[in-house]
């Protein structure tokens, strides 16, 4: 059977109810949008009213406890969610932790490429992203035990791994969908779509991965009225058009700037988050193109000196991020990776989708990438996703990596991935003092305390965890590696039940 009829020249124009007539129980739906930017509100609302059950949702983000994916979770319509992060949607996380549906975590760049692979007819691909982590080794939670205990009932399966040119990679399969719900600005009667601002994000890849794409649009014009050079998604991918009677636009985080006000001043300028951002900004050099990720990195732009000319990239699809908007400039269709309202740089910018954005990052075309994390070890091990028994909100939890309250953790920035060179640690700033622990290359942020070479324990009012030990001192965590038997071992911060070799290079990949 052909996937699409070659006799179909025009998409159907319908109401939301008519467009969803064949969306039945058990289907897989790919959702466009990044936060509320480019999100198909009307289609999700109609799906909730329809009461369709056992849904599998594929989404880059899961925003919207009240008017996004939250109502579907609240009414028990979801069987599984495939996403990168769920921490900001309480309606979703509460029911996830209660074991009401399954979850598949996937790095965001890999997720959008899995959708793109499905749309291009590619069954799978290899990527270095996730190798050596719980993603590849099969230790991510898939389902939790009912009752809210947050105990894991089922874990993910290990990925197949393979080495290319000396670099280990994991196998990722394509992610096809039965339906795609996308949101665009304009459409013509041939189905060609035009998007505003950063709303391309996950919309393009979702549309291409689906057997049937339903597009929610603000305006429909006759075929030929759109300039072909402005079309972002060709009509061959679009099957149904829905123009809601009431157009709804929203931004998840409306952030404004006041005329003459600098975010680098004020009563919060010395807060721990801002101290980290200020120090990180010193790593930025004139002429760089850099990506600022979710969390504290979004603050870094406010501390870049005016004489330093840089181009900022957001993984949601904007190269050339401008300052936060004035109140009269706020546009919910222009946001950064933190889902905050921003402006487009007046010195030159470009707009694209998330697949293109992550291709820039993955392909090494940027000079620098700054990411937020829950915890970072002196070796550059990054913990961001999941700690047993806890629900994490990255924008809040990332503070604990550098405010001095993390129980002796040593904070550093890493240039490359986990299996790369030792991270370079800044030591030229009075706000960052080196930790004296043996072999530790970390630093504490202003206001933090040195752990004195002994780590931290319950007597300090901190969790009993150590990332380094003084010379000759025994540590209950210095044990043989459970994977390869190498010694000594070091406790991984993001999962205190797992250990890895101190050198990190001795452990072979686990067999699939």
pLDDT above 50 for 459: no
Read off the pLDDT of residues 112-135 as tens digits, 9 standing for 90 and up.
999 999 999 999 999 999 998 888
- Say which CATH topology domain 12-242 has: Glutaconate Coenzyme A-transferase (3.40.1080)
Q: How confident is the model at residue 378 (pLDDT cuts 50, 70, 90)?
A: low
CB 29 within 8 A of CB 55: yes
The residue ranking higher by pLDDT, 467 or 381, is 381
User: Exposed, middle or buried, 63 (CB in 10 Å: 0-12/13-18/19+)?
Assistant: buried
Share of the chain above pLDDT 70, in %: 69
Q: What is the pLDDT of residue 383?
A: 64
Are 368 and 283 a contacting pair, CB within 8 Å? yes
**Domain spanning 272-370: which CATH class is it, in words?**
alpha beta
Is the CA virtual torsion 178, 183, 184, 190 positive or negative?
positive
Domain positions in the chain are 12-242, 272-370
Q: Is the pLDDT of residue 363 over 70?
A: yes
Quickly tell me which residue has 């979703």 as its tokens. Answer: 92
Catalytic status, residue 315:
yes
The pLDDT of residue 60 is 93
Amino acid 8: pLDDT: 57
**Residue 442 — pLDDT band, cuts 50, 70, 90?**
very low
For residue 476, pLDDT over 80 is answered with no
Contact 232, 183 (CB under 8 A): no
CA atoms of 88 and 63, how far apart (whole Å): 7
Structure-derived torsion over alpha carbons of residues 277, 197, 385, 63, reported in degrees to the nearest 10: 120
Residue labelled with tokens 């991510």: 140
For all residues of the chain together, what is the average pLDDT?
A: 77
What confidence category does residue 424 fall into, taking pLDDT thresholds of 50, 70 and 90?
low
pLDDT 10s digits, 237-256: 999 999 999 888 888 899 99
Higher pLDDT, 485 or 121: 121
Question: What does the alpha-carbon distance between residue 293 and residue 305 come to, in Å, rounded to a whole number?
Answer: 19
345, 320 Cβ separation under 8 angstroms: yes
Choose between 369 and 355: higher pLDDT: 355
Percent of the chain surpassing pLDDT 90: 53
Place of tokens 């487009």: 344
How would you classify the pairing of strands 124-127 and 167-173? antiparallel
* Topology agreement, domain 12-242 and domain 272-370: yes
Which residue shows structure tokens 């549309």?
207
The model carries a pTM of 0.77
Complete DSSP assignment for 428-459: S-TT-EE--STT---EE-TT----TTS-B-GG
> Nearest-CA neighbor of 360 among 397, 314, 396?
314
Catalytic residue among 42, 315, 375, 441: 315
pLDDT surpassing 90 at residue 54? yes
Query: What's the pLDDT at 237?
Result: 98
- Of 286-290, 362-366, 431-435, where does mean pLDDT reach its minimum? 431-435
State residue 43's pLDDT score. 97
d(CA 74, CA 95): 8
CA angle 145, 148, 149 (to 5 degrees): 70
pLDDT at 496 over 50: no
Question: CA 505, 506, 511: angle at the middle one, nearest 5?
Answer: 105
Mean pLDDT score, 204-231: 97
State mean pLDDT over 73-85: 95
Cα-Cα-Cα-Cα dihedral sign, residues 75, 77, 80, 83 = negative
> What average pLDDT does the segment 354-361 reach?
95
Three-class DSSP category at 143: strand
Q: Is the pLDDT of residue 465 over 70?
A: no
The DSSP output letter for 261 is -
Mean pLDDT of 210-223: 97
Q: How far is Cα 499 from Cα 506, in angstroms, rounded to an integer? A: 12
The predicted pLDDT at position 73 comes to 95
Q: Single out the residue of 268, 279, 277, 366 nearest to residue 314, CA to CA.
A: 366
Q: Give the residue, 379 or 357, on which the prediction is more confident.
A: 357
pLDDT in tens, 33-45: 999 999 999 999 9
Mean pLDDT of 422-439: 44
């Amino acid at each position: 059977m052909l996937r699409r009829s070659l006799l179909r020249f025009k998409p159907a124009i319908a109401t939301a109810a008519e467009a969803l007539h064949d969306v039945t129980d058990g289907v897989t739906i790919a959702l466009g949008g990044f936060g509320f930017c480019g999100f198909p509100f009307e289609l999700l609302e109609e799906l909730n009213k329809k009461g369709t059950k056992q849904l599998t949702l594929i989404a880059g983000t899961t925003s919207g406890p009240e008017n996004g994916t939250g109502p579907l979770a609240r009414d028990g319509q979801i069987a599984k969610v495939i996403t990168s992060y769920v921490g900001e949607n309480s309606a979703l996380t509460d029911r996830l932790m209660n074991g009401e549906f399954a979850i598949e975590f996937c790095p965001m760049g890999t997720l959008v490429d899995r959708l793109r692979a499905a749309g291009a007819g590619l069954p799978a691909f290899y990527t270095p992203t996730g190798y050596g982590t719980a993603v590849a080794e099969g230790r991510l939670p898939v389902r939790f035990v009912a009752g809210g205990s947050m105990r894991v009932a089922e874990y993910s399966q290990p990925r197949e791994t393979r080495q290319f040119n000396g670099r280990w990679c994991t196998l990722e399969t394509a992610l096809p969908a039965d339906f795609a719900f996308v949101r665009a600005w304009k459409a013509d009667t041939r189905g060609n779509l035009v998007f505003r601002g950063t709303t391309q994000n996950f919309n393009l890849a979702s549309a291409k991965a689906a057997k049937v794409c339903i597009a929610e649009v603000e305006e429909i014009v006759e075929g030929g009225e759109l300039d072909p050079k402005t079309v972002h998604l060709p009509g061959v991918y679009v099957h149904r058009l829905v123009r809601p009677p009431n157009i709804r636009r929203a931004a998840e985080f409306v952030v404004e700037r006041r005329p003459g006000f600098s975010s680098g001043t004020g009563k919060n300028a010395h807060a721990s988050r801002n101290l980290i951002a200020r120090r990180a900004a010193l790593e930025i050099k004139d002429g760089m193109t850099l990506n600022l990720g979710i969390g504290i990195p979004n603050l870094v732009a406010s501390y870049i000196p005016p004489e330093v000319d840089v181009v900022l990239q957001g993984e949601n699809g904007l190269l050339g991020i401008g300052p936060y908007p004035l109140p009269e400039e706020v546009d919910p269709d222009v946001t950064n990776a933190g889902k905050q309202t921003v402006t487009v740089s007046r010195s030159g910018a470009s707009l694209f989708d998330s697949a293109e954005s992550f291709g820039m990052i993955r392909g090494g075309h940027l000079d620098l990438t700054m990411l937020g994390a829950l915890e970072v070890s002196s070796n550059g091990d990054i913990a961001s996703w999941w700690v047993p028994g806890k629900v994490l909100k990255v924008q809040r939890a990332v503070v604990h990596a550098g405010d001095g309250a993390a129980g002796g953790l040593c904070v550093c920035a890493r240039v490359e991935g986990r299996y790369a060179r030792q991270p370079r640690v800044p030591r030229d700033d009075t706000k960052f003092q080196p930790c004296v622990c043996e072999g530790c290359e970390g630093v504490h942020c202003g206001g933090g305390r040195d752990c004195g070479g002994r780590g931290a324990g319950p007597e300090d009012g901190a969790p009993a965890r150590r990332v380094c030990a003084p010379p000759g001192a025994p540590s209950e965590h210095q044990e043989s590696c459970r994977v390869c038997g190498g010694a000594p071992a070091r406790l991984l911060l993001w999962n205190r039940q797992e250990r890895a070799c101190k050198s990190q290079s001795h452990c072979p990949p686990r067999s699939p």
